Structure formats: structure tokens, C-alpha cells
Amino acid sequence: MFPDIYDISRLKFVSVAAMGGWSDGGWKWGNFGVSEGDVVDMGVEEEFAVFKGRMEDFRGWMDGKDSVEWNAPEEAEFTVASCYNFYNNLRIPFGPSNRYDGVYELLWKLDVPFKIKAFGWRLFLNRLPVKDLLEIRGIHFPLDELKCLFCDNSLENSNHLFFSCLVVKIIWNEIARWVGKGDTVVEECLSSYFYWHNFFVSKKVKVRKLGVVWLATTWIIWLVRNGGYFRKEAWNVNNTV
């Protein structure tokens, strides 16, 4: 509202509390970091007067200093139980909520071996032992071996390995073509699952089969990746598909 005043102020990145102080039970503004000389030099006397007038007129805080107050519903005073309830009500099971959180439940309904569900669960939560996570846990590789097996270019992390790797995208596109799914590859795990699931919903596939193609694809990518790393097995896109 007062860009010229802001320009010449030397108190740009401070809180309102630093712009004045309490004296004799009342709030007194300081000079807002603005020198009279600068006001005259810049020819903004009128603007500065209007600005000061507005600030003096504001009486919103004259009742006293700010204080901290516990504001959880129905609880006048802070208790550990009210704090627990407050957080519990937020229901954040695995980090901030996400529009694709529903996919966690869909996974357990699928008609696939438990081992593969458990794999899917770890993939959803980014808990598979891909190289970036191993590095974080202190298991180090030479830089060259941190690369993705498939493209031998990007560093391996879960999202790259399963979704955004250029080679892996070819596999997804082939599978999509094979089942008649038209749109492009989604490069993120939960949303990818969500869109594949919905595609098969639209094809009237049974509930227990909805995520099977997606899970089979990611599972095979994982097996080929492990075969390539641990047993130096040869692979190619066509065989994988």
C-alpha cells in the first residue's frame, strides 16, 4: 500500500513488534526505520504522513500484549489428552494426506499372493531397498553403481526405477497399449496406481483384479532389476514386457 515508504525503510524484514514498544501501558510506534531526510529527499512527505496516521489510528492491540492460548475444541486448559485428541483427529497415517491415500486399502483387496501385496505396500510407502534409501542408511556404493540399471544414466530411486525412467516408461507404454489404455504414463507411484485402478474399473474388471496388472508390472520391474544387479542377468525391454 505504501511502496515508496517501504523502499526507504531500513526495517524491512522485522516483525511488527520491532517497530515500536510499550511505554506507560500504551503502544508507541518508532520511526518505522524511515529517516526524515530520506522522506524529504524522496518527496514522499504526504504519503508518509498518511501512513503514520493510519498506524496511529489502529488500536487493535491496545488491550495488552499477545499471549499464547490453548485453543483445542471443548478444552479450556491444556492437557496431554486434549493434545492427543487434537492430533488424532487429524488422522494422518503416513504423512500429509493425499488424494490418492485410498489406494492403500485397495491393495489388500487384490487377489494376488501375499508376498506381492507386501511388495506393493513397501513400494507405496517408498520402503523398498532402492539405492537412494540404502545410501541414507549408510550402505554406500561407488557413484557408478548408484545408477539405474535400466537407463544407466539417472541415480536410482523408487520413483525413477518404477515410473519416470525412460526405459521403464517404454514398458508401461507397451503394457498400456496391450490392454488398450490410452493416456500417458504417470510418473508417481500412488497416482499411477490410482489411474490404472480406475482404468480397470472403467473396463468393469472385478474388484479383486483391479490392481493386478499394475502390481505385476512393478513386481516384474523389481525382479528384473534385482536379477540385473545381483545375478548380472541380461534383460531387455521386450522380454520384460
Question: Which position has the grid cell 503394457?
Answer: 175
**Phi then psi dihedrals of residue 53, to 5 deg:** -60, -45
Judged by CB under 5 A, does residue 148 bind Zn ion? yes
Q: Are 163 and 187 in contact (CB under 8 A)?
A: yes
**Phi then psi dihedrals of residue 29, to 5 deg:** -75, 150
Judged by CB under 5 A, does residue 155 bind Zn ion? no
Show Cβ contacts of residue 205 under 8 Å, excluding neighbours closer than 6 positions.
Answer: none
Shortest Å, Cβ 5 to Zn ion: 54
Judged by CB under 5 A, does residue 151 bind Zn ion? yes
Shortest Å, Cβ 187 to Zn ion: 12
Helix, strand, coil in percent for the chain, rounding step 5: 55, 5, 40
Shortest Å, Cβ 205 to Zn ion: 30
Judged by CB under 5 A, does residue 212 bind Zn ion? no
Considering only the stretches 29-37, 129-137, 164-172, 217-225, report the one whose residues sit in contact with Zn ion under the rule CB under 5 A. Answer: 164-172
Judged by CB under 5 A, does residue 11 bind Zn ion? no
Considering only the stretches 165-173, 174-182, 196-204, 208-216, report the one whose residues sit in contact with Zn ion under the rule CB under 5 A. Answer: 165-173
Judged by CB under 5 A, does residue 103 bind Zn ion? no
Nearer to Zn ion, 32 or 150 (CB): 150
Nearer to Zn ion, 128 or 151 (CB): 151
Show Cβ contacts of residue 126 under 8 Å, excluding neighbours closer than 6 positions.
Answer: 133, 158, 159, 189
Judged by CB under 5 A, does residue 150 bind Zn ion? yes
- Indicate the burial class of 103 (C-beta count within 10 angstroms; 0-12, 13-18, 19 or more): buried
Shortest Å, Cβ 231 to Zn ion: 19
Of 202, 159, 158, 209, the C-alpha closest to 182 is 202
Judged by CB under 5 A, does residue 106 bind Zn ion? no
Dist CA 161 CA 30 (whole Å): 58
Q: Are 109 and 208 in contact (CB under 8 A)?
A: yes
Shortest Å, Cβ 160 to Zn ion: 6
Considering only the stretches 29-37, 68-76, 79-87, 150-158, report the one whose residues sit in contact with Zn ion under the rule CB under 5 A. Answer: 150-158
Judged by CB under 5 A, does residue 162 bind Zn ion? no
Judged by CB under 5 A, does residue 112 bind Zn ion? no
Name the residues that contact Zn ion, by CB under 5 A. Answer: 148, 150-151, 154, 165
